[in-house]
Structure formats: structure tokens, C-alpha cells
A and B are shown apart, each in its own frame.
Chain A
């Protein structure tokens, strides 16, 4: 026999739907006057103290930033999960086999270039890449798409051109460095990647015979959204913590040295988690830094940041997210330095 508390704790995970056992009076009920007193006072005190704590300026700023990152990302997350649900339900696997080259080595550049068509920021691309793998696309190609889509779509490139007026080299450098990073990571996965780093769940999915496609679209959409949304909140909390804890004036200390400034802005892009459609404006405002460092900010931001790491960990598994994000950050910095050094 299970205790009532244990069962209550499991109710969320298990499928059992019965009411908690009412056959015996549990031991804790004997202390009912104490429990009653506790129930009357504890929530009030906790709410009051918690409320006071949440109203301090630090916590207000934290809540505002956290909510801002979430609200900003939600529409794009919905777009991405709707698309992933549609891929799951309506697009047969043979379409991808026909469009993408058979050899994975050639599939990577095609998928990377296909990132141009998804006009969203990075939150949208994770669920889509997940479903692509589910439909039999080779993971290397899906990852190239995952990394290139938020960085080289027309919306982002236009925003970059607006943020850096009269500096088309910056737009070109961003396009080349981001695409280079995406392709390099795709090929790196072919070379070093292991399927067991991915969660087993990633490899299933697709339309099953007999079900209604609309229903499948809806449930896939809903599942992906709730799943990714939860991890988006984790990422938003992490980004808000850094945002509130690290004062922006630390920036000035690093703007002097070229190498330090590149690394520093790369790290800043990771912890700030600014969405890729707006990061060009943030980069342009960091005008104490060299153009190469600004480029590194814009190349690293869309491919690695706090909310993206959280999303990837939730979707593909933690073992994958850590290795992949670390490698991507290194590759992105290298490409920014190489291409920035040549073009800017």
C-alpha cells in the first residue's frame, strides 16, 4: 500500500486517476489543530514576505527582464512549433529524401542555405530541427539548418543593414561568418558526433497510419510548444539573472584589447540572450568596441545563448546541449575573427 503523500506526489506523473485513499485515517490527521493553525498563518506570512521580497528593486528588475525575454520569444516559439507540428503531420518523409542530397556531406550545405526561408529568431528553429530529425533528415543537416536559420534570414540581415547604415561589409561579414559556422558545425557533427548524445525521443515521430492529420498537427504543436516553452522560461530566468547581477559598466574594462574584447562580447552575447532580430542594434550601440568584436557578438548570439542552451537541453538532451553549444561558441568566434579580419 502506498502512503497518501507518496501517491499525491506521483499523481502528476502516473496515469492513476483515482481519489487518494480514504480507507484509513492517516497519522498526520491526528495533529489537526496544529495543521489548522499552520494552514491559517503560514500562507499569509509566506505571501507577505515573498511579496515584500518580490517588490525590491532588484527583484522587480529581474521579473521585468525575465518576462520581457519570454514575451518577446513567445510569438516566434509559436511560429516554430506550429511549423514543426506541420512538418510532423503533413510533410511525408520522402519529400526530404528527394530534396536533400543523399550523401550527408552534401546535405549539410543545402540545409544550411535553406535556413534563409525561416524568418524567425532562434527559438523557432529548435523545434523545427527536432522534427526534421524525426522525419529522417540526417542530424548533421538538421543542425546546420538550426544554426543558420536564425542568423541569415532576410529579417535579420535587413535589421543588420539598418543598424549599421553605410556599412554593407558588416552585413556580408555576418552572412558569411554565420553560414560558415553553421556548415562547419554540420560537418563537425558528421566527423565527431555520436547519435547516443541525442535523446532517444528525438528519433521517433511522424504521421502514424489511421490517425487524423489535423489532430496530429494539433497535438504535436501543443506538445512541442509546452515542452519548449518550459525551457524557454528556464533560459529567460538565467538571462535575467545575469542581466541584473552583472552591471553593464563592466563592459568598459574590456573594450581596450582586441582579443579580450572579441571574447568578452562573445560571452556577453551568450548571457544576454538578445533575440537575433534585434541583436544588431545592441551590437551597434556597443561602439566602444572594434567591428570584429561587434561581429562576434552578432555571430555568436543567434547560435549560442542562455535560452537556446536551455531549449536544446530540453529538446535534444543535456549531453548534447553542452557539447554542441561549447563547440559552436568556439567555431563561431573563430569564423568571426577570420571573416571579420578579412572584410572589416
Chain B
């Protein structure tokens, strides 16, 4: 790879990183919030590196043309970086112009539900109705809370839609990541008695627990009889299991 391309690649990668981390929230589609300062620093560093490279290139061009040829590759007789470096243009341009969306129904439909963490003691549920809950919380209440506090309560959950493959109903999903989107895991609650919206739509579902098995044990299904299904805006950080936002009325 020749010098001008190297310079362009460094600067483009830097701008791409800055675009998704500093100027927009797009980085949340790929990594966790905590990566933001690192990504901004990396973007700035790459631009700086590219600028320094351009300056030295222009300056040496004015001087003698020969000494410049070898300086890209220590220990490599020929000039510059290897061919593999061209591949870096793919993520750089993708970040700049063609950022893929956050993972959704396709990934969720191919994964078993994530086993929720175990909890021994449950506080009494707040006495508001409908009660906003996260999908993990709801699953824990249904499958672990021996006091059966969830029974008969109206709850409200938010997630995206994954069409059901078997049985009746469809899945309300959230994907959670621990590092980057490569390790996404899904939590899901099955929704009954409501027609399925199109895949990947973000909805808030209000309803009551769908009876089955023994409540408070693993045999109880994490499922909801829907009373209402309303479209909501997709959250900026899609990879969290957050409480539903209050509905604007």
C-alpha cells in the first residue's frame, strides 16, 4: 500500500470512529457505553497519525525522494504496509457511510433465552398499576418468587418484536451485551392474545401473567396475556434491559 493510501486510510478510520462515538450515538449499536472515551481517543489519535504522515510525506517530497521509500516498513525491504491493510477500508467506510443497524429479531430468534440470575428474596411489588418492569425482572418474578406477588398484577414491558416460530403468540425481546455485539444474549417474554406487529418493531406491552405451570418455579412460562400493544421509539442504547418509558399521552 502506497503512502497516500495509508494516509487516507488512517484519516478515514479516525473520522469514522469520531463520527460514531463523538458526533452520534451509533457506537452503541456495536459496543458498550464505557467504550466511548476510548473510541474518541482512538479516532483523534488516528487522525493525528494520518496528519503527521501527510506532513512528513509532503516535506520529504520537496527534499530527496529516495529516503522516503523505505520508511514505512521497518524490516521490510519494500515500501509501506502489506496488502491486508486494504481490508481496513471496509470498517472505516462502513463506519462513515453505511453503519449497520443494531442486532435484532434475526439474532434473537436464533438464541435460547438467557438464564436470568437467581434471587432469593423479593421485595413487595410497588402498588402502581400498570407496573413498569424489565424483562429480566418479570422473568425472575414469574419463575423464582414464591410469594406469587406477580399473580393478577398488570405490568408493562418494552422490547422489540420477534415473530414466533411455533405455538401461539410472539416474543418480546431485549438483547444484552457484555462487551460487544458479538456476545449478545437475549431475554424474551412470550406475548399471547395480541396479533404480532412486524419484526423488529419496538413496542410497549401492557398485560397480565399468562398462567401455566406452577407460579414461582421454573415450570412457569415467562409469558404475558396482552391487553394493549403500543409502538414506542427505539431506545438510543438498545442493548440494555431498561424499564419502559412513561407513555406520552
Contacts and interface: CB of A to CB of B under 8 A. Distances in A.
B100 A285 contact: no
Contacts, number: 185
B106 A60 contact: yes
Interface in B92-143: 94-95, 99-107, 110-112, 114-115
Interface string A234-265: 10100110010001110110000000000000
B236 interface: no
A202 B75 CA distance: 8
Nearest to B81: A226
A231 interface: yes
B119 to A, nearest CB: 13
Contacts of A314: 82, 84
Contacts of B52: 218
A80 interface: no
B42 A226 contact: no
Contacts of B9: 226
25 contacts: A15-B69, A61-B103, A63-B100, A64-B102, A67-B94, A68-B30, A72-B30, A74-B13, A88-B74, A134-B75, A203-B75, A204-B75, A215-B56, A216-B74, A219-B71, A223-B80, A226-B1, A229-B87, A233-B90, A243-B182, A248-B112, A249-B111, A282-B178, A287-B115, A314-B82
Interface in A66-82: 66-72, 74-75, 78, 82
Q: Mostly helix, strand, loop or mixed at chain A's interface?
A: helix
Nearest to B10: A222
A67 B30 contact: yes
A334 interface: no
Nearest to B56: A215
B53 interface: yes
Contacts of A12: 1-2, 83
Contacts of A57: 104-106
B101 A75 contact: no
Given A57-B105, A60-B106, 14 more contacts: A67-B91, A71-B35, A71-B95, A72-B31, A74-B17, A75-B41, A88-B74, A222-B6, A222-B81, A227-B82, A230-B85, A236-B91, A273-B182, A285-B178
B49 interface: yes
Interface residues of B, number: 66
Contacts of A216: 74
A63 B83 CA distance: 22
B6 to A, nearest CB: 6
B71 A215 contact: yes
Interface string B16-53: 01001000000101110001001101100110010011
A72 B35 contact: yes
A233 B91 contact: yes
B84 A71 contact: no
